[in-house]
A and B are shown apart, each in its own frame.
Chain A
Amino acid sequence: MPDETPREGMDRRRFLTVLGVTGAGAAVVSGCSTDRVEKLVPYLVQSEDQVPGVATWYASTCTECAAGCGLHVRTREGRAVKLEGNPDHPVNGGRLCSAGQSALQGLYNPGRLTGPMARQPDGSFKTVSWDEAIATLASRVATADGKLAVLNGQGRGSFTDLLAAWTLALAGRHVRYQPFSYEPLRLANRQVFGTAEIPQYDFARARYLVSFGADFLDGGWLSPVEHQRGFAQAHGYHDGVMAKHVMFAPRMSLTGMNADEWLAPRPGSEAVIALAMAQVLLTERSGNPADANGLRGMLAAYTPERAQEASGIGAEVIRRIAREFASARPSLAVAGGVASQHRGAVTVAAAVNLLNYIAGNVGETVRFGADLDTGDGYGATLDWLGLIDRGGVELALVHEANPAYSLPQATGFAAKFQKARFKVSTSLYLDETARLCDLLLPNHHPLERWDDARPRRGVTGLMQPVMEPVFQTMATGDLLLRVSQKAGGKLAHFAAPSWETYLKQQWLQVVGTDEAWRAALARGGVYQAAPVAPVRLAAGAQQLAVAAPAFDGGDGPGRFFFAAVPSVLGDGRFANRPWLQELSDPVTKITWHSWVEIHPEVAARLDVQEGEILRVTSPHGSMEAPAYIYAGLHPDVVAVPLGQGHTSYGDYATGRGANALDLLDGQGGQGFLPYFATTVTLTKTRQWKQVAKTEGTPRQLGRGIADAMTLAQAKERLTPALAAQAEGHEEHEVNTEREVEAIKGFRDSQLSKRRHGDYVAEHPGWGMTIDLARCTGCSACVTACYAENNIPWVGEEAILRGREMTWMRIERYWEGGEDGEPLEARFVPMLCQHCDNAPCEPVCPVYAAYHTPDGLNGQVYNRCVGTRYCANNCPYKVRYFNWSAYARQAFVAPLDLQLNPDVTVRARGVMEKCTFCIQRIRGAQNTARLEDRPLRDGEVVTACAQACPSEAIVFGDLRDGASRVSRIASDHRGYHVLGDLNVRPAVTYLAKVQHRVEA
């Protein structure tokens, strides 16, 4: 191609000069130039609670799972930009998990329905007006008397009360559905204690924890943030004390990775182990509850030896753990995880109930009375589907549920649901269920509407609209009222003028006055201590019959137990959120797709390498996914994460990975969906897919990144270096004397550069501590960082090239796992270390990377020309380069409404990294200056520290010796990652503390 453009007088040097004049290259139009005409559009009427440039906070309630955490929603200029926990809330105490924070990407999801739609005769959907849609529904309601079926995924609350009453008025069937509904716990509690309620588990007080397959840290068990807070309190080391955590589960989940001992019993044998432990307690310990002695006869048969026979775990190990459990008071045993929900799950939970009862934990760490709302259960949902299947249902309404995805194919949902004459969905998205419906009436997002939630007794959370609706949606409460007014007849008494008025009336009946209502709104709800209902052993406790649970497909050579495990995508409802798709799975570090975990022995036997696509076939279906070789499995088990394989759920979820539910049996004869009840065969397909994982080397290779010490060493107040020496590792002198001298000179010259850009006042020296004894690797900090700092997700392709932009990432290293050594996981949250002696700074030719007077490693985007020298020179790999215009693809409308206006959206060709949330530092400094006072300790909280449910991260001024961060940084467990390099990081890690198993 000929060069048609005249190039006279434009050599490279001149080009750069021009660049220098106009600012950063491509930014001529959008960046520095003021040629573009921008409009300033004022408000029409002064808003009472909005000041431009100042955040307004609203209290709300998270509805992403059944736990019902409290929210504080940060809004700027009328749009929600960040979700944080509500510190007043009894469930989450100011903390929030990744899924909860990602609700914003549900709100601004490009896949949302923009308004009501009706199915046309040709099967397509056409946008209609709300008036038309309401008229259509009202006419259908008129003929639906006694022939109405409603499936409601929303938890208990005023809306559910309204919907139930509305359904009742039409003599319809109303069922509340949650995919994860923990029925085995309820059934076991009914059997052993005579109550079908779910108790509150107080992890914080427990001195010894045993989990029988309950993944209480994975987000797949009851109230994840609350449990993690409690766990960190109990299991986090402080003053020589630390609870021990033992997990029995066929797969090492995130909870197992946080256990001091993870033991993989043969699938289905957990109940025998729990009973054997109970038997040891009963025979060897005095002071057990008196009525527990009645269990002696039943338990006599369950010896540790019998447990060994059933589970493959040594009798002496079980006996030791039982004795340790017995000596710690109070202790806590938990069961009922989705990942190990086999057909004997009720027995496991019942056995654990007995264990807790004998240990005296019931009433202490296991408190009945609050209950947790998890819907009506799987059985009720199947009954509901059966009702439609039998015919005669005129109108089916599905609200905030996606059973077409979350029920296994084997239930035949799609075919049965089609038998309803007219089907209506209120889903916000065109999900699998909505696609089967005739009328789509998208609800407001929880952040756009009035609502409330009663996740458990004593906690009532309020939701208020924090912003104008993004699309032409309507709160389903309003929809029901308007349809009622239109249809009249039996619905005429639903006469409230609006859903908001209805909700407020309900509240005024409880709280009484307008002031109390407003106070509740400001606090995010009404919180009281949960009532405590003492329980005794019921007659059913004696009739515990333990039998090996059946697995479809049977046990045999070449067959593997198939575990469908909860992932960061929950039950699949989070799959349309790019933050969570890109969030690496805490265990495997895989993003964006499904995988099949197989044990290394099996991989060797079948000659399978990582990334080989395996076909997994069960008696009920099959799926294909690339293999991931994982030592944290029982060798007879393969595991697949739940949540992927959507066929209709927006661009981010559709056609991604495979749905593990396809392999499951849909029969709920026992009242729950057995997620772990089939065996499968593995077939090699000879096809490959590179696994999109964010990990580098999975082992530390002696680099001293994630340090740990034993509890005994911690009690002796050893430093990590001394602890390593005590373990027989020698300390290496990495630098010669001359090198040390050179480094010192370099450091001095680096620090002297701080006089550039000096402040008038004394400077703080910002620093951070991360306590690895508390960190569980949950990754809430990662999502918080994405939300706060406008970090673009990059997608699977870019991840494969190692181009993820995770300013804050969780590194996971494996220890042991070979030659019979137990497998052990260590987590290190890794972010820019803001080194005093930063290697990235002197190599930057344009001074874009430099040291600020307040101890930050600054990165000036408008100076950066993208040489990437800094990233090459960074030993921590925490600098991320914008290889492509990631922001343009990541923040497509309306996701761009989430962008934090205080943080620059970085352009292509710019290096970026953690800033220690400098916008929060400057914001706090501005506030302090306006109030003529110095900054207070704890006033600046980075997004990661704010979100962390374990409270592992502390941020503050290291130059203030009295600050919390200074005190923690001087702890004997403190160390710097790669400290030998003498880069002087501002981030101090506190070594993990472990209960070492005494042989």
Chain B
Amino acid sequence: MTLIKQIKIIGFSIILCGLFYYQILQGDYFSNKASTNYIRLIPKEAPRGLIFDRKERLLVKNNLEFQVCVFSHKEKEETFKSIAQILKVDPAKLENNFRRNFIAPFIPAVVYSTTQKDEILKLDEKNIPQVTVVVRPRRYTVFPYRLCHVAGFTRKLSKENLFLTKFGYSFQEDIGYSGIELTYDNYLRGKPGGTQFEIDSKGRLVNLLGEKIPQAGKDIYTTLDIEIQGKALEALGNYKGSLILMESESGKILSIASNPTFDVNSFTENKEYFKETMNNRLKPLLNRPLQAEYPLGSVFKIVVGLAGLNEKKIEKNSQFSCNGGFQLKLTRFKCWSVHGLQNIIDALAHSCNVFFYNLGLRLGPKNMHNYAVLLGLGKLTEIDLPFEKKGFVPTSSWKEKTLNDKWYPGDNLNFSIGQGYLTVTPVQVAKLTSFFATKGYLVQPYLVERISELEIPLRKKELININTANIELINEGLRQAVATQEGTAHILEDLKLDIAGKTGTAQVTGKKAHGWFAGFFPYKKPKYIIVVMLESASSSYRACQITHKFLHLVKEENLLEL
């Protein structure tokens, strides 16, 4: 008790002494400082971390930008006039900028910014009072079209995000808004610094009070190969769609392309271009591989086939006969050709609908739903890019609840060939394909493998407990789809890459069908996963053509490690 009383007395004495020192002993000094408060702050932004690709090629860097800043003082107009004369701009515009960027009297406001060094040198020579030039880093993407979705872009901290200042972000700081810039913002951003100094009434620096040197952010090393990314976009050409090339064992993404693209540098700098891009009907801002949800079409047959084998609804040699269609009560569900007797391998190679109609009826919606979810559909892949969509896998109870309608046997047929209510994203399909390539593992796709010196461990690899023999049967079907003359993806065989894969044509009411190709190679010891998705391409054949074009380009340049 007495001890605590002593602590109290000591504590209050310390505070009193402090106050006495500052307010009585140093009172005049501080009061003088306050009345002639010529203390000024010049913030110095920290450069953000750089972004590299897997071969340590620079993807995103910082250029220098020069900002002409003016301190708040009485003869502002004069100052604006003299700056305007040198830079040959309208003084009214400078005044406008000043008003917009004004934060506090002791922080100079930006009135003009440029990347032209010559202009600034001219201004600097004149040494106008109350004017200072600040050099700041400006984000620059070296491959603006190839990286617009993956690397993303930064913007100034806006009024809506001002709450972030509580978490250590500073005013006017660049902050990641999309792509890797957003996901890894915490690492990429540096620590801003600045100088605090006293100026005299003429605006000359008289006394440096304090300095904090800005610290650069951490560099990020991605799994991307910028050349392959370029080839992917080249192959996609004028099609809207996605192309993903991923390592099947690790989930490292070499290329994740979304077409159409835009120039991300102009997007952040040029207001006209920004508006134009925002309003573009082709939606270039959409990062299609993970933000667009499509019906999957026949690629879904690999899930249904596996479910059938694993639930023992069919066996290796079970056959169904295809006469070009399937009669369910009054409706006839079509197949795209007449295939005759088909077992599971044939049915996958030829993409026979009738086989899967029969199987879908035997499985029912619950089984198909369970296997789809088990293999990662309807769930986020947790790829390290923002705003991922998770697609949708229907259930009969969902249909009853939301559409107020029964689940008909016909729904089973549609579901079994990936039509109807099922939607997926291309990156989910890549993950799904990884399950077959690794014979049992769902591999999480990712893009960043190292942050500065910090090596990020491999992402999770989820083992799904399914009989390997069944997976191998499906894989055999996928190989036949490419290897045999009648296979739906046979045009890929001349690449000599031993590709195994599945095509998909996804019907959309009122629009042209989407085309899919999802596969892995080499068949014996899979290394890569490829997924191509084309919007409104009419048929899966186009997806195969684009896949062929892409792999041909990549192979020619020896970009793959085979």
Q: Do A and B come from one complex?
A: no
Interface residues of B (CB under 8 A from A): none
